[in-house]
Amino acid sequence: MTTNIVRKTCEAPDGVTIVYSVAGEGEPALLFIHGALADRSFYHAQLRALSDRWRVVAVDLAGHGESGANRTRWGIREYGTDVKAVADAEGLKQLILFGNSLGGPVAVEAALLLPGRAVGVVGIDTFQDLGQGASPEYRREAAEYFHKRAESFRADYPAGMREMVKVLLHPDADPALVADVERRMLKTPAPVAAATLDSMPDYDQGAAVRKLTVPLRSINGDLYPTDLKAARAVKPDFDVVVMKHVGHYPMLERPDEFNRHVAEMVARLAQ
């Protein structure tokens, strides 16, 4: 069976052109959001495999993939408006938001902008540290980490990217996959990458999640442990599926297993 994947565009509130892909029909729609420096191509396997049951949408956030980069402020809230623009353009009345890494909090922001339409948020290797964000020590360490990464991108983007990707995957990850992730992520302009990381310490993930009135779930790898107890102190209904020996990109590393988890999550959230 051939999957008809359609490339579309819409406009974010600040005028940036947002590019996205759509396949299939059926509600709830599944809207996939990539992480920082990635793009919608990270979800090609989901567009192909899941669109026989649901409408599947994958978005390029501003500055990433084919979307425009004519924006002066970069951050999770701004990216959330990109996602809402796509949901509005597609007329999605009921959707589940999936977000990898930075895309997780972006999905939360989008859900807050889509009351009565978003029925759930599912993180993808994210929310591991949801319960730790209020700690001054944690926030200080996070700020130092993101500043260091941003500076490495400004100094030598390919070298900085290589160093970052190395810690996002298990040491024995397929070298071809590692190289492919680096290649695709280097397409994001270095200034966008650095500005996005610079904005991260200013975002209070816990405060946003506490406003969320729909279920929060996650499909995580085991490279970084998920503190379930701490996360539930922020969002009592939070739950997680952990894929064994998987790193930051489960949809690329083991797509068939990942897709099964997605289908199970959708079945529960759509009830």
β-strand 118-124 against 95-100: which pairing, if any? parallel
pLDDT mean over 196-209: 92
Q: Is residue 191 part of a domain?
A: no
CATH of the domain at 237: 3.40.50.1820
CA dist 188 and 178 (Å) reads 16
Q: pTM for the whole thing? A: 0.96
Q: Is residue 170 part of a domain?
A: no
Q: Is residue 211 part of a domain?
A: yes
Residue pLDDT, tens place only, 121-155: 999 999 999 987 667 788 888 889 999 999 999 99
CA dist 124 and 103 (Å) reads 8
CA dist 53 and 208 (Å) reads 31
Going from the C-alpha of 34 to that of each of 2, 68, 81, 99, 141, the distances in angstroms are 24, 16, 14, 6, 24
What domain count does the chain have? Answer: 1
CA dist 30 and 1 (Å) reads 20
CA dist 50 and 3 (Å) reads 10
Q: Is residue 182 part of a domain?
A: no
Q: CA neighbours within 13 Å on the CB side: how many for 131?
A: 13
Q: Is residue 1 part of a domain?
A: no
CA dist 39 and 19 (Å) reads 10
pLDDT category at 43 given cuts 50, 70, 90 is very high
Res 2 pLDDT > 80: no
Q: Is residue 258 part of a domain?
A: yes
CA dist 180 and 93 (Å) reads 35
Residue range of the domain that includes 260: 6-132+204-269
Closest CA to 46 of 36, 35, 63, 32: 32
pLDDT category at 202 given cuts 50, 70, 90 is confident
What is residue 133's predicted lDDT score, i.e. its pLDDT?
66
Q: Is residue 140 part of a domain?
A: no
Q: Is residue 156 part of a domain?
A: no
Residue pLDDT, tens place only, 50-90: 999 999 999 999 999 999 999 988 999 999 999 999 999 99
